[in-house]
Amino acid sequence: MPVALLIATALAMFTAAASGTTRAPFLIDMARDLSSSVPIVANLLAITSIAWGSASMFAGAWSDRWGRRPFLIGGPLALAVGATGVASADNFLMVAIWAGFAGGCCGMFTGAIFTEVSRRVASNQQGRALGWVMSGQSLTLLVGVPLAAWIGAWIGWRGVNLCVSALAVLSALALWLTTSGRTDARSGAGSKLPSMRAALSGPVMRLLSMGVAERICYGLVAVYFATFLQSTYALSVHEVAAPLAVFALGNILGTILGGQLADRLKNRLLIFALAMLASGAASLVLFGWIESMVISVGLGFVYVFFNAIARPSLMASLGDVPDHIRGTVMGLNVTCSSLGWLGAAGLGGWMIAGFGFGAFGPLTMIVATIGAALAMARRG
């Protein structure tokens, strides 16, 4: 395994995820500071997701044509500019504009990361390798969000965005060093732009649809879990840091186990289906049984553990596509993931305003069942 590359890509994924998810503990503070409301501020994630997904759709195909290195290095540097813009904005409109720019920058390099790693490892190692890359996103919840909550209590949400900017510059440097001189980081140079029709075969479309369902289920809880705890148990920003760390630990452990299962078991899609159904069942209890904070945090751990098991199997299946369209497919996967985040943000905000958190459980169960059904529908 290319250990140095995996560390660099995990750091970059950590930074990309941090540019959005570290807002979670500050939704109430941001709404107050920007003279807005929590549901409206939560929709910053929707803006980020639209920009992220749109940029990734084009960047994936472009990286197959011009190579991945310009995106791996240029994307994080541009993200640093976007995060600085969010920190300096003085009204919601400018925050939204800079958040959209930052999301687009993330879309320019996240698909290229998955493409580069899947190319550099054997098929029977892709589950573990891509799992380690995705652990960067999980670490955002375990380390990034709790640390942001703690730091933000002192320097505010604007200062947290400046920290993200610094991390983005560090990520660009790490990716520059680990891809320097690698011909496979530029293997697409000189070829024609791949056909989108060739990339979007029946099996790939099914996998991408599964990714949308999985991201909706993940986003509904990841984005709103801190707000759920704050609203239900009257927790402060300081007090929510530890529960978020427990939640993120479940994500990391699930990702590690999911990577092992994806490489050791033949039926990756069955793993995905069972994990989704288990997470859906956990969501019903998580949002339907409000007994104590300890129980809610424990159920959050169980939910995200099962959800995280599903992701490596899906990514490893996507990594098996032919090399000449791999960048396009991985870029489209990020686009579909962004659609999932968009659905989670929009549905979650609507649910909170109209029905409260009690509706999250049934909604998540429905979406998880759809994802599981797609996994078991083997016909392309």
Is the pLDDT assigned to residue 195 strictly greater than 60? no
Out of 103-112, 129-138, 295-304, least confident range: 129-138
Question: Which of 263, 280, 262, 279 has the alpha carbon at shortest distance from 271?
Answer: 262
Q: 164 falls in which pLDDT band (50, 70, 90)?
A: very high
Dig out the tokens for 121 from the structure. 């490892």
Residue 54: burial class (beta carbons within 10 Å; 0-12, 13-18, 19+): middle
Q: 200 falls in which pLDDT band (50, 70, 90)?
A: low
- Return the pLDDT at 379: 47
* Mean pLDDT, rounded, for 167-177: 94
Is the pLDDT assigned to residue 115 strictly greater than 60? yes
What single-letter DSSP state applies at residue 121? S
Q: 281 falls in which pLDDT band (50, 70, 90)?
A: very high
60 vs 103, higher pLDDT: 103
- Return the pLDDT at 207: 87
- 23-51 pLDDT, tens per residue? 777 877 888 888 777 778 877 877 887 88
Is the pLDDT assigned to residue 188 strictly greater than 50? no
Q: What does residue 184 show for φ and ψ, rounded to 5 degrees?
A: -75, -10
Q: At what angle do helices 145-179 and 69-88 cross, to 10 degrees?
A: 150
Look at the pTM and tell me if it is higher than 0.85.
no
Distance CA 40, CA 91 (A): 13
> pLDDT exceeding 90 applies to what percent of the chain?
28
Question: Which of 106, 103, 112, 110 has the alpha carbon at shortest distance from 51?
Answer: 103
Distance CA 12, CA 113 (A): 8
* Mean pLDDT, rounded, for 231-247: 81
Q: What are the sequence ranges of the domains in the chain?
A: 3-180+194-376
- 297-346 pLDDT, tens per residue? 999 999 999 999 998 888 888 877 766 677 777 778 777 777 787 778 77
Architecture of domain 3-180+194-376: Up-down Bundle (1.20)
Is the pLDDT assigned to residue 186 strictly greater than 70? no
